[in-house]
Structures are given as structure tokens and as C-alpha cells.
Chain A
Amino acid sequence: MNKRNLIAFAFLTVVGVFLIFSTFMMHPFGDPNEQAMDQYIIDNTVDETGANNGVTAVVFDYRGFDTLGEATVLFTAVAGVILVFRRLKK
């Protein structure tokens, strides 16, 4: 294990300890302590957006701008792949 690997391994263990330790500080899995935003969405999805699927209502109506960003990410990736695989000589 040369020196570089040792430093990298030390870094990895530090990050790992931080992560494992932080998982126990998180709210217990199953009863989230805050519920203001999501409870509002669950209560009036049907009458505000007319959709039955809560997740689609959030994706397209409550947080629709994220999905516009989402569609742009996909559009960028396709444009990037086409740009990288183009023929170089005109």
C-alpha cells in the first residue's frame, strides 16, 4: 500500500465514520418529525390539480419547474452525445 493509497484510505474511513454516525442522528425511519409541506400536498392534490397520482401532481404541477429543468437535462445530454459523436470533416 504506497503512501497515496494510505492517505486515500484514511480519507475514506473518515468520510465513512461521518456517514455512519450521521445515520443515527437522523429522525427514526418511518415517522418523520416535520410534515408541513407533504401533508398539505396529500390533503388537496385531487381538488387543486385534479390528478389522482400524488407523485405526478407534484412532478408536473406543484414542482413543475423541476421537471422543466429535468427535460432540459435530458435534452442537453442528447445534444451533448450528438455533438461528441459528429463527423469532424465538413
Chain B
Amino acid sequence: MKGMSTIVKTTANISFPFILIYGLYLIAHGHLTPGGGFQGGAVVASGLVLMLVAYNTEWISKRIKESHLSIFESLGALSFVILAFLGIIFGTAFFSNFLVGTETLFGGIPLNGAADINTGGIIPLMNFAVGLKVIAGLFAIVYIMAHFISKKEEKIA
């Protein structure tokens, strides 16, 4: 099957950037508005799956290889664990929020109880790490299943 009809492809082309932006917004503002790494990552992954469904797997596999996805996923997971490790070096214990209230990039002091974009300590950084991981992970699952179905004739006996 050579992907969906051109109508579906054009609507997918138009809506894909908006889904992407919305997902990244959810990840970036995880600690302010409802949302976070997991939810934003799932939205972006659904946008990628939309492109996978609209265009067939060969088109997608020319652009994204499975090894890229597993590298992204390992990077996301690694940055998450390393952020937690920094908690030991700078903060008091593993996973401690050492950036809060330290005037650094994300460490601003919430003035009179109103937190803004850069007062989250390591929460925004963890949001980005988990978001990257969820995007790569969920899309990898759908990508592999689609890849496996599309080459049915190769008998793995």
C-alpha cells in the first residue's frame, strides 16, 4: 500500500507542525501548566505516527532509522539518570532538586509565590529528558511494528 490518498497526505502535512509545536509546548511548560514530559512526549509521538500512517513505512524508513531512535532514547534516559546523579554531587541526596533557588538558569526564586518559567529547579530539565525519551520510545514501538508487518513475506522460521 503506497500510503494514504493525497488528501490525507496534505492534511497530515498541514497538521503535523501544529501537533509538534503543541507537544513541545506541553513538555517545556510542564511545571507551570498541566502537562509534563510524558504527556507532551505522547503528543509529539502521535504526530510522528500520523506521518507514518499517512506515508507508508518505506518513506519513513528512508528518513528515520531504528538505530537513531534507540540512540535518542538512550540519550534521554541517560540525561535523566545523570540529572539525578548530580543531585548527589551538588545537592544532599540522590534525586535532590539542587537547582532550586540558586539564581542559575532554572533556579530563580519564585517571587511572592508565583513561579515562572525559570524557577523550576531541575524539574524543567527532567521534563525535557523524559519528553525526548517518550517521543523516541513510543514512536520506536509503532515504527517497529509497522516495519515488521510491512515485510511479512520474510519467513522467520
Q: Name, among A50, A70, A82, A87, the residue most crowded by chain B CB atoms within 10 Å (CB to CB).
A: A50
Q: How extensive is the interface on chain B, given as a class?
A: 35 or more
* Chain B residues with CB below 8 A from A87, complex form: 154, 156
| Nearest A-chain residue to B156, judged by Cβ | A88
For chain B residues 40-89, which have a beta carbon within 8 Å of chain A? 66, 70, 73, 76-77, 80-81, 84
Q: In the docked arrangement, what's the CA distance between A65 and B126, Å?
A: 12
- CB < 8 Å: which of A46, A61, A68 contacts B97? A61
* Chain A residues with CB below 8 A from B34, complex form: 53, 55
For chain B residues 96-151, which have a beta carbon within 8 Å of chain A? 97, 100-101, 107-110, 113-115, 119-123, 126-127, 130, 133-134, 137-138, 140-141, 144-145, 147-148
Asked if A12 lies at the interface with its beta carbon under 8 angstroms from chain B, I say: no
Interface of A is mostly: helix
Which stretch (A25-33, A34-42, A73-81) binds chain B? A73-81
- B97, A49: Cβ atoms under 8 Å? yes
Q: In the docked arrangement, what's the CA distance between A57 and B97, Å?
A: 10
| Nearest A-chain residue to B97, judged by Cβ | A61
- B127, A50: Cβ atoms under 8 Å? no
* Chain B residues with CB below 8 A from A59, complex form: 36
Asked if B32 lies at the interface with its beta carbon under 8 angstroms from chain A, I say: yes
Known contacts: A46-B113, A47-B110, A77-B141. The answer to whether A60 contacts B32 by CB under 8 A is no
- CB < 8 Å: which of A56, A65, A71 contacts B95? A65
Q: In the docked arrangement, what's the CA distance between A59 and B95, Å?
A: 12
Known contacts: A46-B110, A71-B80, A81-B145. The answer to whether A64 contacts B31 by CB under 8 A is no
Chain B residues within CB distance 8 Å of chain A: 30-38, 66, 70, 73, 76-77, 80-81, 84, 94-95, 97, 100-101, 107-110, 113-115, 119-123, 126-127, 130, 133-134, 137-138, 140-141, 144-145, 147-148, 154, 156
